Structure 1
Amino acid sequence: MCGIVGGVAERNISNILIEGLKRLEYRGYDSAGLALINQGQILRERRVGKVVNLEQAVLDAQLNGSLGIAHTRWATHGKPTENNAHPHISGNVAVVHNGIIENYQELKDQLETLGYIFTSQTDTEVVAHLVNDALKSTPSLLEAVRLVVPKLKGAYALGIIHTDHPDELITVREGSPLVIGVGIGENFISSDQLALLPITNRFIYLEEGDIARLTRTTIEVFVDGQLVERPITELDATVTNASKGRYKHYMLKEIYEQPEAIKQTISQALNGNALREDFLANANDQFKNIQQIQIIACGTSYHAGMIAKYWCEQLIDLPCQVEIASEFRYRSPVIVNQTLYLCISQSGETADTLAALRDIQKRAVSKHLDITTMAICNVATSSMVRETNYSLLTLAGPEIGVASTKAFTTQLAALMLLVLKIGTVKQTITAEQVSQLIADLWHIPKILLDTLQNNNEILALSELFVEKQHCLFLGRGTHFPIALEGALKLKEISYIHAEGYAAGELKHGPLALVDNEMPVVILAPKDDMLDKLKSNMEEVQARGGELFVFADENSGIKSKDRQHVVNVPTVHPTLAPIVYSIPIQLLSYHVAVLRGTDVDQPRNLAKSVTVE
C-alpha cells in the first residue's frame, strides 16, 4: 500500500523521511526509496524489502539534503525490483507517485518516439519524463507540472523535485490522498498525516485537483491555475497513529478512505489487466485440486462471504458454502476432502472463526484428509494469518470504527481477486472474462469517489429516519447480503431495529410489517433482477411503505411521493455490491449522528471479538 513522504527545510531531512516511511509500514509495501537534492545533484537510494534496508543504505552513503521525497511501493506495474522502486528520475527531475496512470502505455509510446529511455516497468516513470519534457518550454517547475497533469488519466498523488529548484517541492492530488504538514521554516507532504505527526500537528488537507508548491516558508495551492486558500487543521498534541484528522468520527474517515483502500488491495494482485504471476503462486497446485469452498466468518465478514458464494458459483462454477463461525464450530460439521476452508476476519483474531479453523485442522489430520486453509484478513501478523496455509491481506490500513466499512469493501475486493485466481488456475473462467473484470476493478475507486458525492443528499434523507424504530433493507442476488449489511450497520450504530431480506421473500412474511411508518431501503443496481425488484417496490408502496432507493442512474427509477431515489453511478453488475456498500454506510452514519449515539464505539460492541 504505497506511501509518500516529502519535505523542504533548512536542516537535513533524510532521517525525517525515513522515519515517515517507517510510520507508513502498516500499509504494506515491497520496496522503498528516497531522493534528496544536494548541491545541484539528485542523491537517490532504493532498496527492495523493508525500510530498514533503505535506512542502512542512506547511512552508508551518508546522504544529506534539505529537499527530498521518499516512497514505499507495492508493486503494480512491474515486479518488486530496485529499478521499479520510487523515486523515478528523468534528467534533473525526481518523482514519487501513489495511484495508477491508466493511460501510461499511450504516454510511454509517445515519449519513446521523442527519444526518452525507460529504465523501469512502472507507470510512474512516464510522469518524470513528461515533466522533464515540459521544462523545455518553461523554466518554472510548477508550470511544467501544470502542463503535464491534464495528460494523465487515473487516480494519483505526486511529489516532484528538481535540481534547479532546490527550495521547491511540487505536489499534486487527484484521487489519491495527500496532506501537507505545516512546520516552522519547513513544510512537508505525505499520503497519511500519521507519517508527519512526530514533527508537526498542523495539516492542510488537499482536495481533488489541487496542485501545491511548498518552500521552506510558503505553501501555495492552485486549482486550474488560480491560487486558493486551504485551511490549516491543528490536531491535538496527544493524537496518535489513529487520528481522525478533519473528520468528526473515525467511521466517516474510514468511509472516505475506501477508494484508496480498494486500490491498494487490488494492486497487490494485478499488473495492468492481468493477474500478477506471483499472486498466490505458491497455492497453484492446491487450487487446481480443490472441489469446493467452505467460507467461515462472523458479522460483516460473513456478509462478504455470502457475496463470494454468488461469485464462486456464477463465475468459476465451483460449489461454495458460507456459514457463521459460531454455528459451524458447534454442529460437528463434516470435513470434506479437497476443500478450501476460507476464514474471513478483519482482525484475524475473531474467537469463533479461529476456533472453527483449529477444529477443522484437527479433524482433517485425524481423518487424513487433503484440505487447504486460507485467511482473508487485514492484519498481517494475526493468529489467523499465521495458522492458515495461505493468506490474502486486505490493505485497508487501521480501521478504528467498530462498524466495519473499508474492511468490508476490501474483503469483497480480495474475494474477487481470489475467485479470479482460482478460476484461472482451474481454467473455469475465460481470459476475456478475467481481463474485463480486472479492467472494471481498476475503475471501482473512481466510481466510489463519484458515489461519495451523494453524501449531502443521503444526509438529507437520513433526517427522515431519526424518529423511526424499525426499518427494512431489501435486495436481490448479490445485493441480498448488502441488504443484510445495511441492516447490521443501521442497528449497530443508530440502535434502530433493522432487518435485511431478499426482496423475493416479501410475500413470505416481512410484508406484514409494512405500513406508513416503515421505511424500506431498496438496493437497485441495473442487472437481470431489476424488473423483478421494481415489482417488489410496487408491493411495498401498495401497503403504504415509504421507499428509500439507491438506484443505478440508468435504472429508470425516479423520485415521487414517498419514493426517495439517490442515483448511484453505473457499475459492472458483478462488482456492484462494492459500490452499493457506500450509500448504506453513509445512511447509517448520518442517522446515528442525528440520533446522538456514539458512532465509533457503539454500546455493547467491540472492534475485535476475541471471546465467544
Structure 2
Amino acid sequence: MCGIVGYIGPREPEGVLLEGLKRLEYRGYDSAGVAIFNKGKVEIVRAVGKLTQLEKALKGKRFSGPIGIGHTRWATHGKSTLENAHPHTAGKVKIVHNGIIENYIELKDDLISKGHKFLSETDTEVIVHLIDEELKRGDNRGEAIRRAMLRLKGAYALGVIFDDDEKHLYAIRNGAPLIVGVGEHEHFIASDIPAILNYTNKVIPLRDEEIAICTQEECSIMDFKNGNVPRTPQKIEWDAEMVEKGGYPHYMLKEIHEQPRVIMETIDKYIDKDRMVPSFDDLKIPVSTLKDIERIEIVACGTSYYAGLVAEYYFEEFARIPTEVQLASEYRYRHPVANKRTLIIAVSQSGETADTLGAVRMGRELGATVLALSNVRESTIPRESSAAIYTEAGLEIGVASTKAFTTQISTLFILALHIALIKKTMTKEAVSEAIHELTALPWLVEQSLKRETLIKQLAEKFYNYRAFFYIGRQLLYPVALEGALKLKEISYISAEGYAAGEMKHGPIALVDQELPVVCLVTPGPIYDKVMSNVEEIQARDGIILGIGEAGDSRLKKISREFIPMPKAPYHLTPLVYTIPMQLLAYFIAVKKGTDIDQPKNLAKSVTVE
C-alpha cells in the first residue's frame, strides 16, 4: 500500500526520489520521507501529510551523496504522525517498508528485552532494529539483512541503506511488489514502474524471498537461502508520456477517455479478425483441460470483483458452466471445494492484490487450474498461476479504477466465447456474430463519452445530496454496484448498489424525496420487470435519475433527469453503461472539491490484507 523508491548513481538523489514518490503517491499519502547520504552520513527528512509537505521540508537543503531511499506512507500500524513516518532508523541502519509484519509484537518484545528502544507505533521499526541486532553479531550487511528476514512473518518490500556505506543499495521482496531499475552507471528500486520510467525502461521484478544488492555499476540478487539468482532485465513498453495527464485535470478523467482505445487494443489482441473467432494462442492451458472444466470460480476484490460478476453471466450463458464469483478476502479463509475440473480465474489489475494472491495459492494447492487476468506483466499473481492473460489497459494511475474494469470485462467476454467453442455450447456462427458485435464496442463507448457535458450539468444538481441508491438487474446489477463504489471512493457520499428486484425486500424503506436513485434500464428480456421496480420508487417520491436507451420514452417520462444512451447489444450494455457511472462520480467529486486521484484512506494497489 505504501510506495518505496531508492537510487544509487551520479544524479542528485533528492530529485530522483521526489519524482519517484510523486509517481507513487497514489499508493499512500499519509506521510512521506527520504534518507539521503550527505557529507559522509545519512540525513533523514520526514513530513506528515502529502508529498508537498516533504517538498517544503526539503526546501533549501543540498545533499552531496550518491545514494538515497524514499517512502510515501499509507498507514497500517500507527497514526499519521512524524514519528511513524518513514524512513526508520536504528544504529547505522535506515529502511523504508511496504507491507505488514504479522509477528511484530513478539519480535518487538524480544528486542526490547535486549535493550532496543522504539520511537514509533509502526511494525516497520521492528525490522530496522532486527537488522541492527544481526549486525551486532558481526555479520556483513547482506548477511545481517538475510538473517533478519528469516525471522519475519508477513508480506513486505524493503529499501535499506547504511550510515557507513554509500556504495550499496539493498532491496528486499517477500510478498509485496518491488522492482529494480537498470540504467547506465545507476540503479533504482521502486514499488511500481511509473516511479522510474523517466530514467529507464529496463527492470528486474524481484520475486519473493529475494535480496538485491546494487552498486552504481551492477546489481546482484540472492535468495533467502543465500543462493545467487541470475536475472536478465526486461524491457517495459510503457513510456514516461503515459504517466502524464495529457492535458486533463485529473488522471481519472484521462483514463475514462482512454477507454475506447484500450478496449479496442484488448479486443484486437484476443480475436482473429479474419475468422472472427477468439484467439488465445499463448494461453498455457491445454484445450483438453478447458474442455473438461465443470466449474468456474472467479476470485477478486473491489472493482475487479464487479467485473467478475458481469463475467459470471457470460460463462454461464455462453459456456454453460456453473460459475461463482468470490471475494478473495473471504475465499482464502473458507474451505472451498475445488479440484482438477475447476477453473479459478483470479482477476487483479495490479497482479499484486494480497487477498487474491492468497486465493491463487489455495486454488493451486487444491489442484485447480488457475488463470490470472492482470494488467501488469511479470506481477506475482500471473507468475504463481497456471497461466495468465493480460488486459491492454496500459498504466492506470487514478486510485479509482476505470479502464481496467472495462478491459477486464472485454477480455472475460472473449474468454467465455473461447471456452464456449471448446465445449461446443455455441456454434461458430453464433460466436462470430458475438465477436462482430464486440468490434463495435469502442465506437459505442465513444458515443457514451459524448454524454459528458450533460452529466457534468447533472452533477451540479446532485452533488449536495447525502446518499444515493443505484439499481440494475442481471448484467446491469454489477454496474450499479460499481457506480455506487465509484461515488463512495471519490466523493465520500454514501451510496449503495442493489439488484432492482431486491428493493422491496428492505432498501425501499429508505426511499423518499431526498434520495436520488440511479436507475439503469436497458431493453431486454426483463425490461418490464425493471420498469416496475423503478415505478415503485416513483410511487414513494424517490428522485429518479434514469439511464437508458435514447428512445426509451417510458423511462424518460418518470425520471427527474434522464441520460440517453446509444443502442447496444444486450451482452455489451455493462461496458456502455459503465461510462456514465464513472463520469457522474467524477463530476460530483469535482463539485465537492475532493482529491479525485488520491482519495482519502485508499491506495491503488492493496498489497496487504
Say whether the fold is shared (TM-score over 0.5).
yes
Partners of 1:609 and 1:529 in 2: how far apart?
37
8 Å CA contact 2:329–2:355 kept in 1: the answer is yes
Q: Which has the higher contact order (CA 8 A, sep 6+)?
A: 2
The answer on 1:360 being equivalent to 2:357 is no
Q: Secondary structure at the match of 2:547?
A: strand
8 Å CA contact 2:538–2:558 kept in 1: the answer is no
8 Å CA contact 1:348–1:384 kept in 2: the answer is yes
Q: Once the two structures are superposed, what CA deviation does each residue of 1:430-461 show, in whole Å capped at 9, x if it has no partner?
A: 11210111001100000111110000001111
Partner of 1:406: 403
Pairwise CA distance, 1:276: 3.0
User: Which residue, out of 313, 320, 323, partners 2:326?
Assistant: 323
Partners of 1:296 and 1:329 in 2: how far apart?
9
Partner of 2:248: 247
Point out where structure 2 has 5 or more consecutive residues left out of the alignment: 1-196, 200-239
The answer on 1:334 being equivalent to 2:328 is no
TM alignment of 1:460-609, pairs within 5 A? 460-557=457-554, 559-560=556-557, 563-609=560-606
Q: Secondary structure at the match of 1:293?
A: strand
Partner of 1:289: 292
TM alignment of 1:167-178, pairs within 5 A? none
Partner of 2:261: 260
The aligned amino acid for 2:470 is F
TM alignment of 1:41-190, pairs within 5 A? none
8 Å CA contact 2:332–2:359 kept in 1: the answer is yes
Partners of 1:340 and 1:278 in 2: how far apart?
18
Pairwise CA distance, 1:562: 5.3
The answer on 1:307 being equivalent to 2:310 is yes
The aligned amino acid for 2:498 is Y
8 Å CA contact 2:285–2:386 kept in 1: the answer is no
Partner of 1:60: none
The answer on 1:269 being equivalent to 2:266 is no
Pairwise CA distance, 1:531: 1.1
8 Å CA contact 1:459–1:590 kept in 2: the answer is yes
Q: Once the two structures are superposed, what CA deviation does each residue of 1:106-135 show, in whole Å capped at 9, x if it has no partner?
A: xxxxxxxxxxxxxxxxxxxxxxxxxxxxxx
The aligned amino acid for 1:328 is Y
The answer on 1:610 being equivalent to 2:602 is no
Pairwise CA distance, 1:269: 1.2
Q: Once the two structures are superposed, what CA deviation does each residue of 1:72-108 show, in whole Å capped at 9, x if it has no partner?
A: xxxxxxxxxxxxxxxxxxxxxxxxxxxxxxxxxxxxx
Partner of 2:116: none
Partners of 1:316 and 1:409 in 2: how far apart?
21
Q: Once the two structures are superposed, what CA deviation does each residue of 1:321-348 show, in whole Å capped at 9, x if it has no partner?
A: 1110001111222223310011000000
The aligned amino acid for 1:246 is G
Partners of 2:241 and 2:377 in 1: how far apart?
21
Partners of 1:278 and 1:301 in 2: how far apart?
24
8 Å CA contact 1:494–1:595 kept in 2: the answer is yes
Taking structure 1 as reference, are residues 283 and 267 closer, same or farther at Cα in structure 2, changes over 3 Å only? farther
Partner of 1:176: none
Partner of 1:441: 438
Q: Once the two structures are superposed, what CA deviation does each residue of 1:557-585 show, in whole Å capped at 9, x if it has no partner?
A: 35457521111101110111011110000
Taking structure 1 as reference, are residues 391 and 462 closer, same or farther at Cα in structure 2, changes over 3 Å only? same
The aligned amino acid for 2:526 is M
Partner of 1:431: 428
Q: Secondary structure at the match of 1:268?
A: helix
8 Å CA contact 1:268–1:279 kept in 2: the answer is no
User: Which residue, out of 349, 354, 369, partners 1:351?
Assistant: 354
8 Å CA contact 2:376–2:390 kept in 1: the answer is yes
8 Å CA contact 1:294–1:342 kept in 2: the answer is yes
Pairwise CA distance, 1:278: 2.4
The aligned amino acid for 2:605 is S
The aligned amino acid for 1:330 is Y
Pairwise CA distance, 1:351: 0.4
8 Å CA contact 1:526–1:554 kept in 2: the answer is no
Partners of 1:531 and 1:457 in 2: how far apart?
27
The aligned amino acid for 1:388 is S
Pairwise CA distance, 1:274: 2.1
Partners of 2:578 and 2:482 in 1: how far apart?
8
Partners of 1:561 and 1:550 in 2: how far apart?
12
Partners of 2:323 and 2:377 in 1: how far apart?
25
Partners of 1:291 and 1:560 in 2: how far apart?
46
Partners of 2:551 and 2:429 in 1: how far apart?
26
Partner of 2:67: none
TM alignment of 1:16-55, pairs within 5 A? none
Q: Secondary structure at the match of 2:504?
A: helix
TM alignment of 1:202-241, pairs within 5 A? 241=242
Pairwise CA distance, 1:592: 0.4
Q: Aligned pair count?
A: 372
The aligned amino acid for 1:242 is V
Partner of 1:456: 453
Taking structure 1 as reference, are residues 432 and 329 closer, same or farther at Cα in structure 2, changes over 3 Å only? same
Pairwise CA distance, 1:463: 1.4
Q: Secondary structure at the match of 2:480?
A: helix
The aligned amino acid for 1:295 is I
The aligned amino acid for 1:526 is P
Taking structure 1 as reference, are residues 316 and 562 closer, same or farther at Cα in structure 2, changes over 3 Å only? closer
Taking structure 1 as reference, are residues 562 and 292 closer, same or farther at Cα in structure 2, changes over 3 Å only? closer
Pairwise CA distance, 1:270: 1.0
Partners of 2:531 and 2:336 in 1: how far apart?
39
Partners of 1:310 and 1:557 in 2: how far apart?
27
Partners of 2:423 and 2:502 in 1: how far apart?
35
8 Å CA contact 2:375–2:392 kept in 1: the answer is yes
